[in-house]
Chains A and B, each alone.
Chain A
Amino acid sequence: MKRNTDLGKFGAYGGRYVPETLIPALEDLDIWYQRLKVDKSFQRELGRLLTNFAGRSTPLYYANNLTKSLGGPKIYLKREDLLHSGAHKINNTLGQALIAKKMGKTRIIAETGAGQHGVATSIASAVFDLKSEIYMGAKDVERQQLNVFRMNLLNSKVHSVQSGSKTLKDAINEALRDWIANVQDTHYLIGSVMGPHPFPTMVRDFQSVIGKEIKEQIRKLTGKLPDAVIACVGGGSNAIGSFFPFINDKKVKLIGVEAGGEGIRTGFHAATLSKGRMGIFHGMKSYILQDENGQISEAHSISAGLDYPGIGPEHANLMDTARATYPHVTDKEAVKAFMQLSKLEGIIPALESAHAVAYIIKNAKNFKKDETVVITVSGRGDKDLQIVRDYLSQSDGSLKKNMQARGVIHS
């Protein structure tokens, strides 16, 4: 007897693995979401905010200098870094906060790694006058004091999470525990295409505005679809947002770039699709970094936004069905790309986004000169300046010498 339903399944992945207490909240959220998704006044209200408050649409910019220096393909940058708050995260937080408001919730909770999603949630909560509390691993609180201050300024309370590894995954556990206890009046505003159904679908839909705009803009600019769309992948929200409108355009290559950290053979990486295996974590079935007994591993990346041992279930399915590929680049390559884009184009990308840029720098030769690729610059790099500076002062070799020669750091 088949008792199963197909709630939120992407092939074998997705689903809903949570304590029973959360099921009514997830069912309720799903019903509201299905209703509001097709509600014209909701879409108008969200559209107005995305335009007037967040700053959509974002430009698709032809990166002439980078293209020239690589000798092709033609590279276009989707400028999510220009959004209010500095990253694509706000596409999702405004959408979910508006749903929470309509549902009559009065309190928002969220997890954050380095603080970007926490900041974007705080902003959206302020807009809708919702009480907001952010869970952040104690280690991240220590490393990201300025973002904690930023969230406080935006009227959020930040909880420093002391449990487990004291990083993002533990912040998610703690947010889930809070939600279980306060499910009546609280909405858990998950920041990526992960977690139990309906989050992976709902967050994808909110982020798909990226891909929709890319499609329209590239057609206007070049008269055709791109040959490839490239984005970085942690949980995978900016990537799925960029990919989704192209999924049926089979000729468009979809490339999600994972964080290879110090190299995927070192154990210090966040390359979940390359090195993980199927598991159940944070309410979803997906690829998970774990040991042979099923204990979840810690992920490592210079980029806090990619530092997660799971991945959105839809990406797991896109990889299994070979619709998308998921290569990885190292910390070192990402930092190099961070510097190169800054120098050549006057755009300082987030370290997350720098992974996508690094991929094209590494692999430009595999594309034809006249092919076009779109890279989603998911966020801006202001938040990463200190990290990159520290990295360069520690690392040896050509990277450091190059920076010294340009006077960026002192010898």
Chain B
Amino acid sequence: MKVENNVTRTFSNLAQKNEKALIGYIVGGYPTLDLSRKIIEQLILSGVDIIEIGVPFSDPMADGPMIQDAFVKTLNSGISPKDCLTLVKSIREKDKQTPMLLMTYSNILYSNGLEKFLIQSKNCDIDGFIVPDLNFEEADDYLDITNKLGLSTVFLTSPNTSIQRLRRIIALSTGFVYMVSVFGITGSRNKFEKYTFDSISRSKAIVSSYSKHLAVGFGISTPKDGQRMIESGADGIIVGSSLVNIITKNKNDQSKMLSELDIFVKELKTICKVSN
């Protein structure tokens, strides 16, 4: 099923300019709600094409220490899932365009009442969801409601996912397909192995046959990493822990934080502009 939405339009528009998508992940409400709003605005200004907002969960099994720590601190400061929705709403006063996706775990969605939470999200102009512990087998309700509301779905695939499963994942992903680059959790890596690039090439061919887009994430910490993903066929790269790292490192110096984010994002954006 071919779907058009804010997320797919972003990929298509970039493709016309011969660009790949730069997708930036930050933790909603970290280090504070106000600052996370400024951070998102900075990221967009510096060149991030799609924003992912992590909604803190107490037990994030797919996340490494960098994001775990940010979650713990954010939860301790009393940030709730609803705060992440109003965060997007407040950014929407200035920016109607940039796709914003929430990334969180199943329990946050279900515990708050799945339909209620998804409707609230829609009302805050959130474009869609990434749920790393929700597989398509368990996603009937979620798919029915997101489809009804016109929220984009992004399912994850991994280097060991079978072709048969990958096809289902692609078919059910209305935003893009999120390929996890490695066997592992989020967080920077010193190097990637050959299997990562092979998996990207293999997956890209199938994703393209559905006229959909493939973005690769987990562990990308340098422009060079990103470049290799793009050369292997990725339509977009997702950078999370590295951004969170800059935020954590500079949490007491806002202007330094924003300028370091600016520099890093511009470097990443450069490699997303592919010349033929």
Contact = CB atoms under 8 A, between A and B. Distances in A.
Contact of B62 (A180, A277, A294): A180
A267 interface: no
A181 B133 contact: no
A123 interface: no
B106 A293 contact: no
A16 B110 contact: no
A181 B184 contact: yes
A15 B134 CA distance: 11
Contacts of B40: none
A16 B137 contact: yes
A49 interface: no
Contacts of B138: 4, 15-17, 285
A24 B132 CA distance: 15
Contacts of B105: 280
Interface in A143-180: 163-164, 169-170, 173, 176-177, 180
B140 A21 contact: no
Contact of A19 (B59, B110, B165, B180): B180
B263 interface: no
Interface in B120-158: 132-140, 143, 155-158
B184 A294 contact: no
A339 interface: no
Interface in A3-60: 3-5, 7, 15-21, 23-24
A19 B61 contact: yes
Given A2-B140, A181-B183, A280-B110, A295 B160 contact: no
Q: Could you say which of B64, B81, B107, B139 has the most chain A C-beta atoms within 10 Å of its C-beta? A: B107
Contacts of A296: 58-59, 107
B136 A3 contact: yes
Nearest to B168: A3
B134 A24 contact: no
A318 B131 CA distance: 29
A279 interface: yes
A294 B143 CA distance: 21
Interface size class for chain A? 35 or more
Interface size class for chain B? 35 or more
Nearest to B139: A3
A176 B61 CA distance: 7
Contacts of A169: 59
A279 B157 CA distance: 24
Contacts of B106: 17, 280
A68 to B, nearest CB: 47
A173 B67 CA distance: 14
Contacts of A138: none
A17 B59 contact: no
Interface in B57-77: 57-62, 64-65, 68, 72, 75
Contact of B137 (A4, A19, A170, A282): A4
Interface in A293-316: 293-296
B108 interface: yes
Contact of A290 (B111, B162, B169): B111
B183 A182 contact: yes
A248 to B, nearest CB: 28
A282 B59 CA distance: 8
A404 interface: no
A180 B183 contact: yes
Contact of B143 (A3, A21, A163, A183): A3
25 contacts: A3-B136, A3-B139, A18-B61, A19-B132, A19-B180, A20-B132, A20-B156, A20-B165, A23-B135, A23-B161, A163-B65, A164-B58, A170-B59, A173-B60, A176-B61, A180-B184, A182-B183, A184-B183, A279-B110, A280-B111, A290-B107, A293-B81, A294-B81, A294-B112, A296-B58
Given A5-B137, A19-B133, A180-B184, 19 more contacts: A4-B137, A15-B137, A17-B135, A20-B135, A20-B156, A20-B158, A23-B158, A23-B165, A164-B68, A169-B59, A180-B183, A180-B185, A182-B183, A279-B111, A281-B107, A294-B81, A294-B112, A295-B75, A296-B59
